[in-house]
Amino acid sequence: MVNDNQQESSGGLEWRVRMADGSSEILVPETGLIRRTGLSLLGLISGLVMKVRNFLQKAWDLGIDDPRKFIHCLKVGLALTVVSLFYYMRPLYDGVGGNAMWAVMTVVVVFEFTVGSTLYKCLNRIVGTSLAGALAIGVHWVASKSGDKFEPVILGTSVFFLAIAATFSRFIPTVKARFDYGAMIFILTFSLVSVSGYRVDKLFELAQQRLSTIAIGTALCLLVSMLICPVWAGKDLHDLITRNMDKLADSLDGCVAEYFTESSNTDDENEQDCRKKLQGYKCVLNSKASEDSLANFARWEPAHGNFGFRHPWKQYLKIGTMMRSCAYCIEALNGCINSEFNAHEFTKKHLSDVCMKLSSHSSRVLKDLAIITKKMTKSSTIDFSVGEMNSAVEDLQNVLKSLSTQLSRRPPLTVINEALDENETRDNPISTAILIPLMDVLPLVTLSSLLIEITTRIEKIVDAVDELSSLADFKPANEEKPKQNQPNLDQQVQETMKTLQMV
């Protein structure tokens, strides 16, 4: 028999093995310096390998999720390879001189992911460089005619005041949104040309070579960006708005259905997917910066696909604002549903049907709007869907009006027994039956008022989409509005409740 005894010693811990004959032997672990160093080095290498592997896995998943990013990398590499020929080939190098590196720098700086952002930077760089170069040559000519004493004074003063004016213009909202990069290039070019012109004799030739190399770089970027798998900012904005409408519809329908149904035996993956859909309104709340950026770049793009030259991109921002207003109400609705103060089942059943119908009609309107916006086709059924939503609002308001009479009636005895405290007297059960349901029904009244407010804001989204269809000349609808083909609402509600219970 072998027993291990652990004893503390002055140097740390020691291990003894007691043999069967009663003798004991101290086990001394191998603590050689080489062994410890080898183990540490092995652990460091294995940890580094795992980090590299995780990084490559994330990069692969990113490329699989959006292959356009990988294609963009290939396009940048192709553009840099082509523009480098001005350095490798002697005839091209002699044509632009030693300033061929400016073409390479231009490609690196202005080549962006979308066509709109690339076009925005290219035009701003060309215009800013041209204006600054022409102005710098003019100032240099005036300074050269003023004598050796006043020439540096005039050049320094011009750089000082023009840098102040151009920098201040970048704070103006309109200039910052459309010409911020051009203003920065103007400051850079004017300063370089003005300062270098003091020591360079052939200033005009130098400015001409730099302008030609920048034009070559920007033209190459535009050709590669627009001809090889172009990524349009307007198309991304259009798809973003339609996805946000679907997410709002899923969040609204899912929040109300989750509140009025009990889920049990849920699968982890299905529960995670359902929870992600319920939190879809957060994507709408966080999409303002992306919408503003895409709309700004979309204004610079030429006509492409179904989008004309003067497509109303500002109207998409208006629709996005309306959807965020609706998403704030859904966020409040989600907070009300997850509140600690829950309504009693007796009062919850009283409003469950009308609330489920209203949320179903509201989500259907949002989905119809998403289809209209995505296909850019007017729908003949949207008015019918809005009418059903307004009818459901009237039903909910009527139920809320009749709620006071329902509360004044004596509920079942089981409800009273559950509401009453053990130490509370039962001499006046009618007054107690009135007080308790009022406290229980308060979360339901809040939820109902939020649902009504959400429908009001959905109508504003409908008006904004209708205005977009008029400005963008959406195609007329081909299908008629067959009322008999509309699905049964009660059947839809039951299917939704069964789906959530299965999830």
Per-residue pLDDT at 420: 47
> Closest by alpha carbon to 497, among 352, 363, 303, 376?
352
How many residues can be counted in the chain? Answer: 503
With CA atoms as reference, report the closest residue to 430 among 411, 405, 417: 411
Does position 93 have pLDDT exceeding 80, yes or no?
A: no
Does 317 score more than 90 pLDDT? yes
Q: Which residues contact 377 (CB under 8 A, 6 or more apart)?
A: 474, 475, 476, 477
Name the 3-class secondary structure at 433: helix
Q: Out of 152-156, 214-218, 356-360, 458-462, give the one with best mean pLDDT.
A: 458-462
| Coil/strand/helix, residue 6 | strand
Over 60: is that where the pLDDT of 53 sits?
Answer: yes
> What does the pLDDT look like over 445-476, one tens digit per residue?
888 888 999 999 999 999 999 999 999 888 88
Lowest mean pLDDT among 57-66, 179-188, 238-247, 433-442: 433-442
Would you give the end-to-end CA distance of the chain in angstroms? 56
Q: Where are the alpha helices (DSSP H) in 145-202?
A: 151-169, 173-196
pLDDT of residue 156: 85
Contact 336, 447 (CB under 8 A): yes
Q: What pLDDT is stored for residue 143 in this prediction? A: 82
In order of their start, the domains of the chain are 57-227 (no CATH), 233-408+440-475 (1.20.58)
